């Protein structure tokens, strides 16, 4: 009888062990599913963060591009327009939006042309309708502008039209662009 009872107890122990194994098996799969879900969620969060950063950088670049275009448009009009009676009228605009080095270069140019413009009673109206960014990064930009200038003076009282292509170099100064050079090309 002991043997039968030992056999019965062994069978019951085997059944209990088997049921315990079966009960543990779904937990393993549950843990794996949970870990997979956590990893998937982490992947989505990382991907979302990366795409968010890319979007942020793209928006900053577009904003920077817009600021550069706006500055160059206003700057080229101010630089290309003049009135012999008010030659210094645009100086404050030019100086405020230029590096100190370029402001000195501009002042030298105005000084060299002052007598000619005054004696010829020159007046120029300018437009800069076509502006394009050639290069842009976080600290510098190169912008091309097409300037149309209409000049009236004593030798051309009916006026004459001139067209210029200008390459403007910009430098980042804090949160804004300033002009570091202008070349006529």
pLDDT band at 8, cuts 50/70/90? low
Domain boundaries, the chain: 45-184
Helix segments in 81-138, DSSP class H: 91-96, 100-119
Instruction: List pLDDT tens digits, range 116-163.
Output: 999 999 999 999 999 999 999 989 999 999 999 999 999 999 999 999
Radius of gyration (C-alpha) of the chain in whole angstroms: 38
Q: Which residues contact 95 (CB under 8 A, 6 or more apart)?
A: 103, 106
Instruction: List pLDDT tens digits, range 92-112.
Output: 999 999 999 999 999 999 999
The CATH classification number of 45-184 equals: 3.10.450.230
User: Which residue spans within the chain are E strands per DSSP?
Assistant: 82-83, 123-136, 140-153, 156-173, 176-184
């Amino acid at each position: 009888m002991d043997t039968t009872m030992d056999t019965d107890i062994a069978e019951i122990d085997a059944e209990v062990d088997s049921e315990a194994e079966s009960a543990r098996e779904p937990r393993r799969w549950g843990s794996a599913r949970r870990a997979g879900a956590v990893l998937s969620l982490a992947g989505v969060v990382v991907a979302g963060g990366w795409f968010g950063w890319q979007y942020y950088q793209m928006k900053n670049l577009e904003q920077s591009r817009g600021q550069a275009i706006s500055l160059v448009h206003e700057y080229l009009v101010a630089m290309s327009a003049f009135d012999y009676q008010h030659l210094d009228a645009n100086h404050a605009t030019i100086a405020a939006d230029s590096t100190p080095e370029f402001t000195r270069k501009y002042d030298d140019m105005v000084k060299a042309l002052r007598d000619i413009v005054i004696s010829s009673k020159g007046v120029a109206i300018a437009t800069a309708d076509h502006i394009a960014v050639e290069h842009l990064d976080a600290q510098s930009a190169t912008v091309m502008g097409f300037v149309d200038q209409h000049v009236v003076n004593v030798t051309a009282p009916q006026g004459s039209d001139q067209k210029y292509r200008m390459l403007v170099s910009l430098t980042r100064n804090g949160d804004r662009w300033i002009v570091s050079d202008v070349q006529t090309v």
